[in-house]
């Protein structure tokens, strides 16, 4: 049988980490098996469902690259089929009319609490004579439909947890159709999954208690039972269920924070799944080849924002510079607009130097963990003005008159066209200046780094010089010397 799986979120909020991981596991399972991945939007809660939430779910899946084979389908479109399925249960005797009102049920629940006994529906309406039940219905007395639960254990082989069993008597006769004619969740899900010929239901552990009821409904409706797999929940570092207070956000919020979809997918996959070896960094193709449900862990996963950052940094480092350039330009452009300026004013040459931008991204992309951090690493190479870090100035420019002299000498040495022919030549020229001035190379290199980048740390200084280019690099060296001359004059 061809594999068919579904992701079935409710459009009552955005696509969050837990839902995205469920979608990913279903998608990987389908791709590995050559099967079909579909989306069903469970929108029967009209009071809380919002079109913008549906769109956010679609946008989140699209950003992650989890393309749909079918859908989206909408659960609300199947309401009449849900009712027909419920009434078929009544006709065959698998369900019965329940005339108990909400007030009566609440009173029984309170009485059970008062005497200290557990409350469960006692099946009294299921014992009504069929003629009496029909007569009351004909008299337009309101009723719900309840399924008769057989007094036997309900068992299945879970794809994640292995053998599962709910003992006889642990489930009361449950409602499948409310007195207002609306179907309940479990009936709608079974009806929809059967209609879509879903073969495997992979979802969170929070649905475990629904599964025995749904198995009963599949059997009563005479539908083919799918395989069930329940993925452990994601917890925060404090061991409690994941929430916003742990840093968990909408998937699209992580996009806005500067995470790559590849990094997010990698992170989601490793929350509750292991490849069985020491590998941690996967691209989508690698995940598809390695994924199997039997490697999904039985214990809850812990949300680790530090791990997400590390993985995202690895994906930034591995990405071609051309794939990152657009995001860098967009981020720096947005920052310029926030300052009331344009990108050409804050970072001249950035947009018209794609080759130089690519070289600079390749030079700095090994350390940043997010795209804004990458943009901050790129920014000094193109910035119209250099802001000198106070700490770097105090440490490496503490002899301003001498440092200014060294920088001017260096600018003269690097002024020829040949000096910037390659990194090796640049290194030779800089070290040659140190030798001529009879100082250690660090007395030239560290002040030069501050002059070029405004800070005391950077990639290799000779690579920085080559990537920045002759004109801009010399202008910065001379500007730094002028800055130091002014300090000496005002001291």
Q: Point out the catalytic residue in the list 244, 298, 394, 398.
A: 244
337 and 359 part of one domain: yes
237 belongs to a structural domain: no
344 and 268 part of one domain: no
Task: For CA atoms 418, 419, 420, 425, give the dihedral sign.
Answer: positive
Report which of 61, 52, 14 is spatially closest to residue 268, judged by C-alpha positions.
61
69 and 198 part of one domain: yes
pLDDT tens digits for range 357-377: 999 999 999 999 999 999 999
The answer to whether 463 touches 363, Cβ cutoff 8 Å, is yes
pLDDT given for residue 83 in this prediction: 97
This prediction has a pTM of 0.90
The number of distinct structural domains making up the chain is 5
Strands 36-41 and 70-74: parallel
179 and 85 part of one domain: yes
pLDDT given for residue 247 in this prediction: 67
pLDDT given for residue 131 in this prediction: 95
384 belongs to a structural domain: no
145 and 94 part of one domain: yes
Alpha helices in 65-202 (DSSP H): 79-91, 102-115, 130-138, 185-195
Last residue in a domain, options 277, 295, 318: 318
CATH number at residue 285: 1.10.1160.10
The answer to whether 190 touches 223, Cβ cutoff 8 Å, is yes
179 and 325 part of one domain: no
309 belongs to a structural domain: yes
For the packed helices 442-453 and 461-468, what is the interaxial angle rounded to 10 degrees? 40
20 and 88 part of one domain: no
67 and 193 part of one domain: yes
pLDDT given for residue 416 in this prediction: 82
446 belongs to a structural domain: yes
* Those residues with Cβ within 8 angstroms of residue 104's Cβ, 6 or more apart along the chain or in another chain: none
The answer to whether 347 touches 382, Cβ cutoff 8 Å, is yes
DSSP state of 365: T
Integer Cα distance of 434 and 403 in angstroms: 12
For the packed helices 185-195 and 211-221, what is the interaxial angle rounded to 10 degrees? 60
CA 375 to chain centre: 21
415 belongs to a structural domain: yes
Integer Cα distance of 422 and 399 in angstroms: 31
280 and 198 part of one domain: no
Last residue in a domain, options 318, 334, 364: 318
Integer Cα distance of 255 and 68 in angstroms: 20
Is 398 an active-site residue?
A: no
Query: What is the residue-wise DSSP string for 259-321?
Result: --HHHHHHHHHHSSB--SSS-----HHHHHHH--GGGB-SSPEE--HHHHHHHHHHHHHHS-H
126 and 196 part of one domain: no
Q: For the chain, which ranges sit under pLDDT 70?
A: 244, 246-247
pLDDT tens digits for range 110-166: 888 888 877 889 889 999 999 999 999 999 999 999 999 999 999 999 999 999 999
284 belongs to a structural domain: yes
Tell me which residue range forms the domain holding 102. Answer: 81-184
238 belongs to a structural domain: no
Task: For CA atoms 60, 63, 66, 71, give the dihedral sign.
Answer: positive
Distances (CA, A) of 298 to 1, 70, 161, 272, 404: 27, 30, 6, 8, 64
Q: Say whether the peptide bond before residue 72 is cis (omega within 30 degrees of 0).
A: yes
64 and 122 part of one domain: no
């Amino acid at each position: 049988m061809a594999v068919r799986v579904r992701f079935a979120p409710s459009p009552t909020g955005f696509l969050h980490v837990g839902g995205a991981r469920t979608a990913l596991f279903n998608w990987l399972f389908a791709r590995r098996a050559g099967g079909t991945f579909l989306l069903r939007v469970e929108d029967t809660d009209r009071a809380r469902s919002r079109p913008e939430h549906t769109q956010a779910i679609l946008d989140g899946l699209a950003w992650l690259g989890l393309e749909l084979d079918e859908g989206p389908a909408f659960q609300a479109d199947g309401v009449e089929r849900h009712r027909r399925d419920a009434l078929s249960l009544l006709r065959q005797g698998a369900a019965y009319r329940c005339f108990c009102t909400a007030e009566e049920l609440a009173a029984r629940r309170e009485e059970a609490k008062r005497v200290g006994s557990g409350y469960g529906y006692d099946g009294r309406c299921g014992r009504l004579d069929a003629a009496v039940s029909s007569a009351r219905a004909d008299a337009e007395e309101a009723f719900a439909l309840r399924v008769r639960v057989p007094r036997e254990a309900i068992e299945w082989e879970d794809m994640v947890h292995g053998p599962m069993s709910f003992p006889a008597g642990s489930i009361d006769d449950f409602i499948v159709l409310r007195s207002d004619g609306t179907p309940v969740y479990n009936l709608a899900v079974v009806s929809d999954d059967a209609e879509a010929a879903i073969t495997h239901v992979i979802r969170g552990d929070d649905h475990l208690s629904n599964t025995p009821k749904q198995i009963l409904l599949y059997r009563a409706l005479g539908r083919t039972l799918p395989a069930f797999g329940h993925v452990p929940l994601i917890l925060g570092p404090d061991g409690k269920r994941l929430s916003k207070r742990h840093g968990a956000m909408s998937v699209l919020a992580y996009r806005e924070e500067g995470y790559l979809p590849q990094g997010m997918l990698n992170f989601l996959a490793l929350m509750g799944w292991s490849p069985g070896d020491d590998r941690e960094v996967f691209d989508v193709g690698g995940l598809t080849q390695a994924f199997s449900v039997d490697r999904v862990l039985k214990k809850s996963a812990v949300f680790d924002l530090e791990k997400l950052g590390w993985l995202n940094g690895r994906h930034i480092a591995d990405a071609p510079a051309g794939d990152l350039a657009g995001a860098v330009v967009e981020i720096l452009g947005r920052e310029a607009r926030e300052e009331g300026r344009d990108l050409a004013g804050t970072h001249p040459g950035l947009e018209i130097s794609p080759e130089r931008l690519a070289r600079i991204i390749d030079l700095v992309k090994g350390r940043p963990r997010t795209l804004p951090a990458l943009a901050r690493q790129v920014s000094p190479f193109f910035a119209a003005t250099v802001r000198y870090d106070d700490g770097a100035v105090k440490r490496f420019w503490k002899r301003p008159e001498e440092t200014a002299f060294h920088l001017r000498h260096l600018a003269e040495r690097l002024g020829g066209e040949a000096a910037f022919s390659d990194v090796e030549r640049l290194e030779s020229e800089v070290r040659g200046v140190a030798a001529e001035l009879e100082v250690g190379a660090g007395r030239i290199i560290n002040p030069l780094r501050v002059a070029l980048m405004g800070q005391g740390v950077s990639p290799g200084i000779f690579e920085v010089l080559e990537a920045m280019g002759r004109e801009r690099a010399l202008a910065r060296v001379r500007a730094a010397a002028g800055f130091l001359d002014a300090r000496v004059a005002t001291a």
